[in-house]
Amino acid sequence: MRKHPSARATISIKARHTLYTDVCQRRYIEACGLLLGHIDDLGNWHIEQVHPLPNIYNSPVYFEFAPEDVLAVELDRPGEIIGVYHSHPGGLRVASSTDRENMERVNKEQQIPWIWFILSGPFNGRVQQDDEQGTSSSLIAYHHYDTMGLQQISLEFEETQDEHA
Ligand SMILES: [Zn+2]
């Protein structure tokens, strides 16, 4: 599988719904979880499901998973974890320096081909509404490539219930 500069990500309606519901329910801390789906031969990510996980720090400015929580999902859905999401309830619309370090460590040093979603607040209910109307400005995706470094990945919202196969 070769990654290329024009790689993109698709997200199903069901996954998007779970994602927005989670960040709105945990609007005062960084909500976080796993993105499940598959990566195609061109290196595009196809997100079919979102799996929220506890933020063990319960922090508005930091998130971390419990390793055993990630392992449990990996055992249950082998090979289906293709990325991670977290929210920025304070509204920062780009990756923080901590985020960038994590992306480089996981993508480049550990060679785990995850995509990273950051959903920026504040989450007062309007975010979900905006998104349902097709606005995606508060959701950004990144991947740290070996050669090109950190890149923003374009996102496409699937408009039908038909899940990507
Ligand atoms: Zn962050």
The CATH number covering residue 148 comes to: 3.40.140.10
Q: What is the token pair recorded at 110?
A: 């550990």
The predicted model gives 130-150 an average pLDDT of 76
Tell me, yes or no, whether 37 lies in a domain.
yes
**122 neighbors 27 (Cβ within 8 angstroms):** yes
* 149 Cα–ligand 1 center, Å: 18
Q: Which range of residues forms the domain containing residue 137?
A: 8-157
Total domains, the chain = 1
pLDDT in tens, 80-92: 999 999 999 988 8
The predicted model gives 105-110 an average pLDDT of 96
Tell me, yes or no, whether 22 lies in a domain.
yes
Task: Evaluate if residue 18 carries a pLDDT over 70.
Answer: yes
Distance separating alpha carbons of residues 65 and 32, to the nearest angstrom: 8
Per-residue confidence (pLDDT) for residue 3, from 0 to 100: 52
Tell me, yes or no, whether 124 lies in a domain.
yes
Per-residue confidence (pLDDT) for residue 58, from 0 to 100: 97
CA dihedral 52, 58, 25, 118 (to 10 degrees): -60
Among left, alpha and beta (phi > 0; psi -120 to 50; other), residue 79 is: left
Tell me, yes or no, whether 1 lies in a domain.
no
Give the dihedral sign, CA 27/31/37/41. Answer: positive
CA nearest to 117, candidates 96, 95, 98: 95
Tell me, yes or no, whether 3 lies in a domain.
no
The predicted model gives 116-132 an average pLDDT of 72
**131 neighbors 139 (Cβ within 8 angstroms):** yes
In this structure, of 15-29, 31-45, 135-149, the range with the lowest mean pLDDT score is 135-149
* 112 Cα–ligand 1 center, Å: 18
Tell me, yes or no, whether 162 lies in a domain.
no
Per-residue confidence (pLDDT) for residue 159, from 0 to 100: 82
Among left, alpha and beta (phi > 0; psi -120 to 50; other), residue 111 is: left
* 54 Cα–ligand 1 center, Å: 15
Residue with tokens 């990500």: 9
In this structure, of 63-67, 148-152, 156-160, the range with the lowest mean pLDDT score is 156-160
* 155 Cα–ligand 1 center, Å: 18
- Stated pTM of the model: 0.89
Which residues partner with 141 through β-bridges? 117, 153
